[in-house]
């Protein structure tokens, strides 16, 4: 479904992504784990069209998308839930969800709220509450629900577990499984390697802009191996 080949991104002199190649097959959950500043957000933002590439190819559903502006990528089915659970604080839960659906036709709107509430029943109780007054965990739920309202084919999740209590991480993990069951592919970047490998089929480890390790998630979850990558012991 998504194929990234030899992607390079520079911010001035910083080489944020160096020849990164990854694939997200149809109906799969793929993860990229890495520590602070490794290039995880840059990679997702590149797929969403928010970063200028200095080289490489991105193919989605068999078509090259490097030239597509961000809103056309959303229309094509690529939706990003950015880092830091951004919601519109002065708008209600309901209005936030409706905003996610703005690129879709009226007929497509049906079921959007039901999907949100079956994923996160707690949001239903907070339907008319201002998003800014939700707890951190609830705001993450809302951010994901809003992305789902855009009816993605491919959902890009930027550190959905960041800053959440363990029980909230479990809620997010269940939501990811629910979304996968809807036939949506997911590319998730995380520092929480346990959560990431638990929910995904295949994973990559990124270190200062380079993919240093990849494999089936159940194998990568072999902590020793990944710890090595984290401690920088794996050289290119
Ligand atoms: N707009 C920007 N201008 C200049 N440098 C940037 C910009 N965005 C990111 N960088 C740099 O690029 C590198 C990768 O950043 P990125 O945000 O992709 O990392 P990350 O893996 O998402 O980190 P984190 O886990 O902290 O979110 C970092 O060194 C960062 O300082
Ligand atoms: Mg980031």
Q: Which domains does the chain have, with CATH numbers?
A: 2-230 (3.40.50.300)
The percentage of residues in the chain with a pLDDT greater than 70, rounded to a whole number, is 93
SS3 208: coil
- What pLDDT was estimated at residue 115? 87
**Please, what are the averages of pLDDT over each run of 10 residues along the chain (236 residues)?**
98 96 97 94 98 97 96 95 92 92 74 87 93 94 94 96 91 94 96 91 95 91 66 49
- Separate counts of helices (H) and strands (E) for the chain: 11, 10
- What pLDDT was estimated at residue 229? 58
- What pLDDT was estimated at residue 174? 93
Question: Which among 48, 96, 100 is positioned nearest to 71, based on CA atoms?
Answer: 48
- What pLDDT was estimated at residue 102? 79
- What pLDDT was estimated at residue 231? 52
* Residue 121 zone, left/alpha/beta (φ > 0; ψ -120 to 50; rest): alpha
Confidence (pTM): 0.93
Question: Which among 42, 53, 61 is positioned nearest to 2, based on CA atoms?
Answer: 61
Sequence-separated (6 or more) residues with CB below 8 Å from residue 158: 40, 41, 44, 80, 81, 82, 83, 189
Could you read off the pLDDT of 5-28 as tens digits, one per residue?
Answer: 999 999 999 999 999 999 999 999
Of all protein residues, the one whose alpha carbon is nearest to atom 2 of ligand 1 is: 11
Ligand 1 site-directed mutation target among 33, 41, 156, most atoms within 8 Å of CB: 41
| DSSP H/E element including 198 | helix 193-199
The response to whether residue 5 sits with its C-beta less than 6 Å from ligand 1 reads no
Of all protein residues, the one whose alpha carbon is nearest to atom 31 of ligand 1 is: 37
Strand arrangement of the beta sheet that strand 14-24 belongs to: 14-24, 2-11, 55-60, 63-64
Checking DSSP bridges between strand 14-24 and strand 202-207, what pairing results, if any?
unpaired
Atom from ligand 1 closest to the CA of residue 42: 18
The response to whether residue 172 sits with its C-beta less than 6 Å from ligand 1 reads no
């Amino acid at each position: 479904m998504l194929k990234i080949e030899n992607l390079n991104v520079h911010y001035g002199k910083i080489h944020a992504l160096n020849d990164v190649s990854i694939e997200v097959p149809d109906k799969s959950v793929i993860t990229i784990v890495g520590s602070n500043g490794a290039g995880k957000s840059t990679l997702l933002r590149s797929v969403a069209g928010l970063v200028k590439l200095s080289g490489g190819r991105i193919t989605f559903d068999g078509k090259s998308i490097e030239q597509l502006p961000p809103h056309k990528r959303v229309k094509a089915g690529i939706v990003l839930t950015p880092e830091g659970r951004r919601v519109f604080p002065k708008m209600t839960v309901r209005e936030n969800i409706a905003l996610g659906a703005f690129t879709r036709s009226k007929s497509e709107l049906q079921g959007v709220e039901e999907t949100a509430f079956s994923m996160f029943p707690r949001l239903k109780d907070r339907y008319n509450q201002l998003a800014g007054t939700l707890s951190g965990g609830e705001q993450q739920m809302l951010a994901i629900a809003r992305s789902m309202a855009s009816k993605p084919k491919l959902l890009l999740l930027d550190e959905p577990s960041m800053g959440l209590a363990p029980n909230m991480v479990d809620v997010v993990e269940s939501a990811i499984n629910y979304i996968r069951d809807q036939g949506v592919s997911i590319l998730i970047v995380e520092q929480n390697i346990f959560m990431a490998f638990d929910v995904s089929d295949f994973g990559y480890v990124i270190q200062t802009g380079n993919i240093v390790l990849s494999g089936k998630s159940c194998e990568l979850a072999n902590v020793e191996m990944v710890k090595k990558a984290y401690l920088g012991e794996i050289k290119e």
